[in-house]
Structure 1
Amino acid sequence: MGRGRYIIYCYPIWHTVSFTLIAKKHIEQLKRYTRVYEWDELSLPDIYPVKPYTLFVHPLFGATWRWCQMIKLGEPSLDRAVAQLSKRFDKYEKAIGIDVADSDRMSDLAVRLTEVYDEVIVPSNFARESYVRSGVKVKVNVVPHGLDREWYDSPPVPLERINNQALRVLWQLKHMTGKKLLLFWMWHSPERKGWPEVLIFYEHLKRERDDVALVVKTGGPLDIDVERAKRLGIINVFGWLTEEEKMFLYDLCDLTLLFSRGGGFEMNGLESLARGTPVIGHRMGAWKDYMPSWLLIREGLKVRVFVDNHIHVGYGYTVDVDDALDKACEILDNLDEYKERSKEYADTHLKRQFTWENVGKMLWQIAYS
């Protein structure tokens, strides 16, 4: 354990979002090296370091902008607010911001906010390129997300270990009908996740074959395009799943649709491959870092990822629906081969790099390099 080298890790504790889950994994691994003090992002301005701590702020844009707005109440300009914040951060041995890039360009405000940090961390090369292209001057490190080794090493989860009734019913449906299950994750941001393209894709696929069913995983009950989804027979699984339940869902399904228009990493693609379930996604996204070339498909239209976001102001791509249909049918017609290839790829390529243990080593090296 690093003597005298302590870390303050500031992240969303007041509510649970994806940043919270990633931060907890970071903290779990960093505690293998040193003492880590956890602090809620809403209380970031209340930290007054008296020792040479390293500070992690995750996500950097939300927490830093919130603090700047507080400072601006007593300052005439953003520049003065940022300058005052920079003075506070000078008290740390190192200040490191962690965030993502959901599009190919960051706003001028986002670039300005990075200036108070010594270094920033993003989860993909796509995100790094977006930051650098937008004018970020501080060092931008790529530290990917990871998985616990159980995701790669554990056998398929048996039904008797699953208490979730929705998943048990889904298991029965698959085994009674013989349908091949397609999985699409849409916890939030339906437009960014590619929901419009998923609907078009599935409408066409249903006309071509009757051996498929689409499972849409959401946070709450599906509340958009409900009638259209009913007409297509889409199955909605919603609510919080444990890690084992998520593994069971991937094990049960046959193909994951990663149709996101933008995003800094997209964990569901990595999770699916780790379980040996093939994934298809276009070749212009952050997931290129972990996806094999033989599962990438053509991109479609270049589109604004968000209409009115003050941080992520750039573009991304839709999937090419025709190419997605061709690749999906090829996989579904050769399912055993593609599942075997996906699992072999995960074991020989992904397991060496995309684990939380490896992520922890990278974070520690950045903290005290």
Structure 2
Amino acid sequence: DSAEDRNLSQKTIPDEPFIHYQAAPAHLFVPSKAPLSVGRTMFETDRLPSEWVVRLNEMTEIWVPSRFNQETFIRSGVNEKKIRIVPGTLDESVYSRDRVNPYPLDVARRFRFLSIFDWSIRKGWDVLLRAYMETFNSLDDVSLILKISRINEPHANVHDEIHRMKSKLGFSSFPHIIVLDSRMTEEEMIRLYAACDAFVLPTRGEGWGRPFMEAMAMQMPVIGTNWSGQLEFMHSENSYLIDVERLSPVPDTMPPHFHGHLWAEPSTEHLKQLMQYVVQHPEEARAKGRLARESLFPKYSLQQTGRRLYKSFRDLICNFV
């Protein structure tokens, strides 16, 4: 045990639970009478909803996954001294390409791009579809697999949106697209990663970006936006980063708590170049995928993250007692 642990064991700690921990969007945090309150949360734009700031400043500590959120929270008015970075984690023994059989994608073509996201404009699906359709055509031996959910837009018709994009572009030939919208188990999702060659998501903003992390753990070359929370573990050596043209206002079609915020506008032209590049340079892309996994572990392993959590709670208790 460390000296801090020995000192802690000699102090009097209340018998009743005295840390109230909750992980959720901050507007869902519930008040607590516990002496210590910890809230783990994140946000995806350049700032926070104003009502979040008041609630967060009432807590003992706020845990965020990334330096991006540390900066946006402080800039929005959250007390800097209350913020602690506690990153995400994955079980590297489960997210392993060597332990699973690839998910059956019988109709998919030779090179397979995978994108996983909830159907929201924040995820940049419009940028992705345009870039893919302008880069490839029906003769190319390439497929784009869209694994989607509809949490934020339950009534969205994805196939209609794809057809609208085709009509807008007006081409006579379009590349192959597969839409998967049924629920899948974690095991099936891992097998889906294993069945594909590259992951792509031109998101406009993430608090952490878990699908990026999962794809990297599965040794996939990853194409993602050069802005927001995923840069905690993505960089130019282990990923293909999409240039950001500018920060643009969040559209009014998003929920009110996003209004007045800014998020990234990823470059469609640069995304087109990157998608073409990974198809034309598969060996280099696979090497980058292997490096991606190596860069995640052991830094973000369950063991390392567990140690970080233990230290975070220990520090909190020591400062209290």
Superposition TM-score, scaled by structure 2 size: 0.80
- In structure 2, the partner of 1:363 is 309
- In the alignment, is the contact (CA less than 8 A) between 2:62 and 2:84 conserved in 1? yes
Residues 222 and 268 of structure 1: is their aligned pair in 2 closer, same or farther, counting only changes over 3 Å?
farther
Aligned pair 1:343/2:268, yes or no? no
- In structure 2, the partner of 1:333 is 280
- In structure 1, the partner of 2:70 is 128
- Within a 5 Å distance, the mapping from 1:15-34 to structure 2 comes to none
Separation in 1 of the partners of 2:95 and 2:143? Answer: 26
- In structure 2, the partner of 1:155 is 98
2:227 pairs, out of 266, 270, 284, with: 284
Amino acid at match of 2:297: K
Separation in 1 of the partners of 2:260 and 2:24? Answer: 17
Separation in 2 of the partners of 1:225 and 1:239? Answer: 13
- In structure 2, the partner of 1:300 is 245
- In structure 2, the partner of 1:227 is 160
Deviates more, 1:304-313 or 1:110-119: 304-313
Spell out, residue by residue over 1:330-360, the C-alpha distance to the aligned partner (whole angstroms, 9 max, x if none): 111111221122213322x211211233222
Spell out, residue by residue over 1:269-297, the C-alpha distance to the aligned partner (whole angstroms, 9 max, x if none): 01111111111112122111111314112
Aligned pair 1:205/2:135, yes or no? yes
- Cα deviation for residue 120 of structure 1 reads 0.4
The structure with the largest helix share of the pair is 1
Separation in 2 of the partners of 1:217 and 1:337? Answer: 25
Residues 355 and 133 of structure 1: is their aligned pair in 2 closer, same or farther, counting only changes over 3 Å?
same
- In the alignment, is the contact (CA less than 8 A) between 2:221 and 2:292 conserved in 1? no
Residues 212 and 107 of structure 1: is their aligned pair in 2 closer, same or farther, counting only changes over 3 Å?
same
- Within a 5 Å distance, the mapping from 1:172-251 to structure 2 comes to 172-174=106-108, 177-178=109-110, 180-188=111-119, 190-207=120-137, 210-219=140-149, 223-229=156-162, 232=174, 233-251=176-194
1:257 pairs, out of 174, 194, 200, with: 200
- In the alignment, is the contact (CA less than 8 A) between 1:304 and 1:313 conserved in 2? yes
- In the alignment, is the contact (CA less than 8 A) between 1:282 and 1:296 conserved in 2? yes
Separation in 1 of the partners of 2:135 and 2:288? Answer: 23
Separation in 1 of the partners of 2:97 and 2:129? Answer: 33
Aligned pair 1:116/2:46, yes or no? no
Amino acid at match of 1:281: G
Spell out, residue by residue over 1:316-335, the C-alpha distance to the aligned partner (whole angstroms, 9 max, x if none): 11210111111111111111
- In the alignment, is the contact (CA less than 8 A) between 1:297 and 1:324 conserved in 2? yes
- Which sections of structure 1, spanning at least 5 residues, go unmatched? 6-48, 68-84, 160-166
Separation in 1 of the partners of 2:178 and 2:191? Answer: 16
- In structure 2, the partner of 1:320 is 267
Residues 105 and 214 of structure 1: is their aligned pair in 2 closer, same or farther, counting only changes over 3 Å?
same
Separation in 1 of the partners of 2:40 and 2:280? Answer: 42
Amino acid at match of 1:334: H
Residues 228 and 102 of structure 1: is their aligned pair in 2 closer, same or farther, counting only changes over 3 Å?
closer
- Which sections of structure 2, spanning at least 5 residues, go unmatched? 9-13, 167-173, 316-321
SS of 1:149's partner is coil
Separation in 1 of the partners of 2:38 and 2:256? Answer: 23
Separation in 2 of the partners of 1:222 and 1:350? Answer: 36
Separation in 1 of the partners of 2:90 and 2:307? Answer: 14
Amino acid at match of 2:280: D
Aligned length: 288
- Cα deviation for residue 154 of structure 1 reads 5.2
Separation in 2 of the partners of 1:362 and 1:309? Answer: 35
- In structure 1, the partner of 2:40 is 98
Superposition TM-score, scaled by structure 1 size: 0.71
